[in-house]
Chain A
Amino acid sequence: MVPSRQRRHLFQCLDTICIFPDLSAMKNKINFQRLVLKNWVLIFLLLLICFFSILEPAFFSIRNVNNILIASTAVLLLAAGETFVIISGGIDLSVGFIMGFSAVSSATVMQFLFAKGAGYPEPVCIIAGCLAGLLLGLIPGLVNGILVARFRVPPFIATLGMYGIANGVAMKICGGFPVSFLPPLTGKIGNGYLAYYSSKSGLSLFQKPVLTDRADILALVRLVPVSVIIVAVLLIIFGLILSKTRFGQHTYAIGGNVDAAIRSGIDVPRHLIRTYVISSFLASCAGVLLVLRFTMGNHTQFGATYELFAIASVVIGGASLMGGKGTIYGTVVGVLLLGSLEIGFVMIGVEVFYRYIAVGCILIFAVLVDQVFPDLVHNE
């Protein structure tokens, strides 16, 4: 016997699995309201883009879209992992530092292989470094998962512990200095684009045309940053895992009602361990990507508060910290909202202090929408 409230909640969870806005909801006014509320973040993002573009025409340009997307890559990956954990009813505070740990380890391996010059070509150094970072980055997630699932340590505490450990180990490896002197090819991959177009040299794939005049350099059109492609592929894969697979459905079920999940035969501890490993894996991907972008491995600064931005994006994207709700699509929109806000405010010259206030207001507003209109937002 499942009590009716719980049953309703389970249905709510299943509803949120739908990742695309439902267009048939346009039929009547209530449905229209629902559509607006359900997609308020996306609508807010579009309004924001209009607002910034009117105040500062340079905002609406390919170059600026690239800037926003590239600046969001790391947070997108962290927030995607965080989405899994939050839906399962947990929280992962260690993502930012796992990213730093993975960046430092992969850069150290690259530096070692490259500096020795023992006949290792650049691609070998880079691949070995990336693999090392990705594999080592699984360990913190595994530890987090085992602590949470097997030893019942509250996720907040387990990952707060890992927060310090991951950064401590990272700083021990790099000694507080950026790990640099990596193969130059790293930067070319991380900062490359799929295509370039210049009125002088025409269209070229992967190869950046050599331009000397400042006006020409500024007029160069770059299409689709490689780092963004990598992130998009990962997001689609993990978005599908969450929305279309049994693994994803179990994640919602556990977050919705863990007792019901156990009774329906889900191996909850095993599932939770995997969830934290996914979060840790995506954080390592972000770390490796940072190495490719900056041609150096840095530990994450404590002041950078990556984990808070990741959690905020997930919540703005419609997830509930109680678990059972949220989508990768929502999270992506949440990250892009915060990213556009940041860049837009820089461009229109709003003082930094107002930005903190704005981000805080949006976060609270996101939760309010959820609290005030729970049925409109989450029921079909």
Chain B
Amino acid sequence: MKKTVIGLLVISLILAAAYGALAADKTFKMAFMPGIADPFYFTMEKGAQAKAKELGVELIVGEYPKAWGPESQVPILEALAARGDIDLIFTAPTSSEALIPVLKKIHDRGISVITVDTYIGDGDYTKKSNYNFPLAFIGTDNYLGGKVVAESLAKMIGGKGKVMIQNTNPDVSSVVGRGKGFTDGIKGTPGVKLVAHEYCLDNQEKAQAQVGAVLQKNPDLAGVFGVNVFSAQGAYRAIVNAGLTGAVKVATWDATEDLINALKKGEVDLVLAQKPGEIGSLAVEWGYKYLKDGTKIPDKKLVPGFFVFTKDNVNDPDAQQYIYSK
């Protein structure tokens, strides 16, 4: 009798343990660590949340860092990893060098890593290096985007004229890539000349003043490329204030509601939208496939395309999904 009871107890304990293990396998826990509090990452989170809900993944979102940089991001990231119950982290590294050891440590604890939007090292995780441990880089090709903008802007101004780049920070890989892509992109049109490349440090007032100054020097300026929300807002405001709406074409990056509205009013002529929602969604989807079946991501790289808004398609119902929203 006693033996039977003990036997039953042992069996039930084993069963309970097994059941517990199975249950733990059922829901994966992923963490998303954004780069900075801005519309782009908010939209990325939205895409990730939707996919996580669909796949039954539990998604934990790290606190949004207030400033761009490892000093702000690393403490939050390490706290996330220290929870100990997370299977996969996808994050936008705020420094291509400083985040290598931090993410490596997380990887060595058995947590898989995906980098989104920005990368570590040079972003190529297929070759032999000390930064090839992430499962993949999922993000926009900023260089290519800059080129797309350059070619569209060159066409808009009729293949000739002076253009300028209103950039933000000379030390952030994404916007530097856009600037470089643009610079190379206009080389395809010999009539187009780049007359200035300014940096406003995310200060739209400064962006406005800089575009105003370049316009003062080059009254025949034909086009401006604002590489992110703040440089774009400053740039189009400068052109509107000069009374040259439409005469100077304004191309911008990132589809906030305000920029889309400016496009509708004709104050902006082109808006290139990245697909942050899709980046978030892809990270969860491929992370899930990897955790569940061990499926590898081809070439360790996924690049969702862009969507280019112009006056002609801005009201299309299909286009509305690419506008960044809360």
Contact = CB atoms under 8 A, between A and B. Distances in A.
A185 interface: no
Residue picked from A71, A220, A306, most chain B C-beta under 10 Å? A71
B261 A181 contact: yes
Given A175-B326, A178-B229, A302-B67, A208 B261 contact: no
A302 B202 CA distance: 8
Given A294-B237, A302-B66, A63 B216 contact: yes
Interface string B28-68: 00000000011100100000000000000000000010111
A61 B219 CA distance: 13
Given A303-B169, A352-B170, A343 B256 contact: no
Nearest to A349: B196
Contacts of A74: 205
A180 B199 contact: no
A220 B242 CA distance: 9
A298 B205 CA distance: 11
A71 B261 contact: no
B203 A301 contact: yes
A357 to B, nearest CB: 13
Contact of A177 (B39, B203, B208, B237): B39
Interface string A55-69: 010110101100110
B205 A171 contact: no
Interface string B147-181: 00000000000000000000011100000000000
Contacts of A181: 257-258, 261
B219 A218 contact: yes
Interface in A166-191: 167-168, 171, 175-178, 180-181, 191
A34 interface: no
A164 interface: yes
A304 B258 contact: no
B217 A211 contact: no
Give chain B's interface residue range (CB within 8 Å of chain A). Answer: 35 or more
Given A177-B257, A178-B233, A302-B68, A71 B212 contact: yes
A347 interface: yes
Contacts, number: 120
A85 B216 CA distance: 37
A176 B233 contact: no
Interface in A294-329: 294, 296, 298, 301-306
Contacts of B229: 178
A298 B139 CA distance: 26
Contacts of A176: 37-39, 42, 64
Contact of A353 (B170, B209, B217, B233): B170
A214 interface: yes
A352 B217 contact: no
A346 interface: yes
Residue picked from A64, A302, A339, A343, most chain B C-beta under 10 Å? A302
Nearest to A66: B212
Contacts of A339: 209
Contact of B256 (A178, A301, A303): A178
A214 B161 CA distance: 15
Contacts of B206: 71, 304, 342
Contact of A347 (B203, B205, B217, B256): B217
A145 to B, nearest CB: 24
B256 A177 contact: yes
B170 A71 contact: no
B319 interface: no
B243 interface: yes
Nearest to A298: B204
Given A71-B206, A71-B208, A176-B42, A346 B66 contact: no
A67 B237 contact: no
A33 to B, nearest CB: 35
Interface in A12-55: none
B31 to A, nearest CB: 20
B321 interface: no
Nearest to A191: B241
Nearest to B203: A304
B205 A71 contact: yes
Contact of B258 (A191, A296, A342, A349): A296
Contacts of B94: none
B247 interface: yes
A343 B326 contact: no
A138 interface: no
A70 interface: yes
Nearest to B65: A302
A168 B64 CA distance: 11
Nearest to B247: A214
Given A67-B213, A168-B66, A217 B202 contact: no
Interface in B188-210: 196, 198-199, 201-206, 208-210
A70 to B, nearest CB: 7
Contacts of B243: 208, 211, 217, 220
Nearest to B217: A347
B194 to A, nearest CB: 12
A168 B212 CA distance: 31
Contact of A346 (B68, B198, B205, B257): B198
A311 to B, nearest CB: 16
A113 to B, nearest CB: 18
24 contacts: A67-B213, A70-B209, A71-B205, A71-B208, A74-B205, A171-B66, A176-B38, A176-B39, A177-B257, A214-B244, A217-B242, A220-B243, A294-B233, A298-B204, A301-B203, A303-B201, A304-B202, A306-B203, A339-B209, A342-B206, A346-B198, A347-B214, A347-B216, A353-B170
Given A175-B326, A177-B326, 7 more contacts: A67-B212, A70-B208, A71-B205, A218-B219, A302-B68, A306-B203, A346-B214
Interchain residue pairs A-B with the least CB separation, the first 9: A71-B209, A301-B202, A302-B67, A180-B258, A304-B203, A346-B213, A67-B212, A303-B202, A217-B243
Interface of A: 56, 58-59, 61, 63-64, 67-68, 70-71, 74, 164, 167-168, 171, 175-178, 180-181, 191, 208, 211, 214, 217-218, 220, 290, 293-294, 296, 298, 301-306, 339, 342-343, 346-347, 349, 352-353
Interface of B: 37-39, 42, 64, 66-68, 168-170, 196, 198-199, 201-206, 208-210, 212-214, 216-217, 219, 229-230, 233, 237, 240-244, 247, 256-258, 261, 324, 326
